[in-house]
Amino acid sequence: MNSRRSFLKLAPALLGACALAPRLLANPAAAAPVEENDPAAAAIGYKKDAAAVDPKKYAQFKPGSTCANCALYTGKSGADLGPCMALAKRPVAATGWCMVWAAKP
């Protein structure tokens, strides 16, 4: 296959990526919610639901601690998702938790 034909086949995907990139850079919260198996999230033990945290595995877990009351969470009160400063401002679940949790001041 010649390179011109290859480029023409990839052009729509490239245009789509170019159109989305500025939106993500300007508003990381517009990114897809962080998944538990995301490498950065898994490294800090992120769970979408704090109720699923195993306190035997994470001795630092305090009942009642969630992303919504974490100092690194910058989501709006009452929102389901919000940016996490520990995960490049990508959206995490307000009900989530990870081992980096720190109480809001």
Binding-site ranges for ligand SF4 (CB under 6 A): 46, 67, 70, 72-73, 84, 86-87, 92, 96-98, 100-101
Based on CB atoms, which residue is closest to ligand SF4, 15 or 85? 85
In whole angstroms, the minimum distance from the beta carbon of 101 to ligand SF4 comes to 4
Nearest alpha-carbon partner for 88 in 55, 40, 18: 40
78 CA to centre of own chain: 17
Based on CB atoms, which residue is closest to ligand SF4, 29 or 92? 92
Nearest alpha-carbon partner for 30 in 88, 72, 71: 88
Based on CB atoms, which residue is closest to ligand SF4, 24 or 38? 38
Q: Tokens 């639901």 belong to which residue?
A: 49
